[in-house]
Structure 1
Amino acid sequence: MEREVIQSVGFRNIKKDGKITGFQMKIRLPYYRGVFLSQLRPGTLIVDGQRYEKEDIIWNIKGEDYTYEEMKTNYDTHWAVTTPAVLKVQKEGGLAQGFHDITYGFCFTSSYMPPMMQDTLDPDEESEIFMPEFGHHVNHRHLLIV
């Protein structure tokens, strides 16, 4: 795995029945203990200025797909630091070949940290103040789809 949270390997379009139905990317968890899915607070994904809300993103952990709603009450599935998550987005035709600007952020709660959340990357939208040491990660990459 790469050091960056957003991985360059795994960024590609998704094909189903010969048609491109969306795109996917891999991210890693930068927290040494890992987290259960119920601890995750997914954020907004921005690709080339287009926003994809947390409800539009399917998380794949260890080969299983989860919606945001399913993750909120999943206390059994553990995301380990050594396992990348695959984020999938439905988008007819996927993304064009070439470079894309990607920004994604998420946070998580922990039993020994206050449960603060920020569900958006939009600074104009009201949200609680979030300190990086409480597990908030906003990441930016410029990646290629071939």
Structure 2
Amino acid sequence: MEREVIQSVGFRNIVENGEVIGFQLKLRLPYYRGVFLSQLRPGTLTVDGENFTKEQITWCLQGEEYTAEEMAEDFKTHWNPTETAVLKVKKPGGLTQGYHDLKYGFCFTSSYMPPVMQAALDPDKESFVFMPEFGHHVNERRLIIV
């Protein structure tokens, strides 16, 4: 696993039935304790200036796929810091060969913080207030699809 949150391994187009339906990338969790899926607050992915909302992204952990809505309700599935998550992004035709600039922001709540404070988090809103108790990460990386 690489030090960067956005991993270079696993960045590629997704092909189903001979058709490119989107692309995927891998993330590692930058938190030593791990989190339950309900603690995650997925944000918007930007690739070469094009935004992909959390509704266009499916998270894959431990062989299962989750939408943002499903993650918000999942209090049992735990993302360990030693495993990567695969984000599958819907984009007919996928990405072209070559370099792409990626930017992804997400945050997570700590299990020991009060729920009232947790409710204020939304990494997509400009009014987002960073509190040191919460992990808020905006990650940028240039990767290549061959």
TM-score normalised to structure 1 length: 0.92
Q: What is the RMSD of the two structures over their aligned residues, measured on CA atoms? A: 1.3
Instruction: Quote how far apart the aligned CAs of 1:141 are.
Output: 0.1
Classify 1:105/1:126 alpha carbon distance in 2 versus 1 (closer, same or farther; 3 Å): closer
1:119 aligns with 2:123: yes
1:129 CA drift (Å): 1.0
Gaps of 5+ in 1: none
Q: What displacement does 1:131 show? A: 3.4
Question: For residue 92 of structure 2, what is the amino acid of its counterpart?
Answer: E
* Equivalent in the alignment of 1:46: 46
The answer to whether the 8 Å contact 1:118/1:130 transfers is no
Identity of aligned residues (%): 66
Quick one: distance in 1 between partners of 2:81 and 2:65?
A: 18
Name the SS of the counterpart of 1:70 in structure 2: helix
Q: Structure 1 residues 133, 110: closer, same or farther in 2, change over 3 A? A: closer
Alpha-carbon distance, 1:112 to partner:
2.3
Does the residue aligned with 1:55 lie in a helix, a strand or coil? helix
Q: Deviation string for 1:56-100 (max 9, x for gaps)?
A: 110000111000110010011110000100000111110000000
Partners in 2 of 1:131 and 1:110 — Cα distance? Answer: 11
| Cα distance in structure 2, aligned partners of 1:80 and 1:37 | 10
Matched to 2:122, the amino acid is: Q
* Partner of residue 17, structure 2: 17
Instruction: Give secondary structure in 2 for the equivalent of 1:136.
Output: strand
SS at match of 2:123: coil
CA offset at residue 118 of structure 1? 2.9
Number of residues paired by the alignment?
A: 142
2:78 is matched with which residue? Answer: 78
Return the alpha-carbon distance in structure 2 between the equivalents of residues 135 and 126 of structure 1: 17
- Once residues 127 and 142 of structure 1 are traced to their aligned partners in structure 2, the CA distance between those partners, rounded to angstroms, is 28
User: Contact between 2:39 and 2:111, CA under 8 Å: does it hold in 1?
Assistant: no
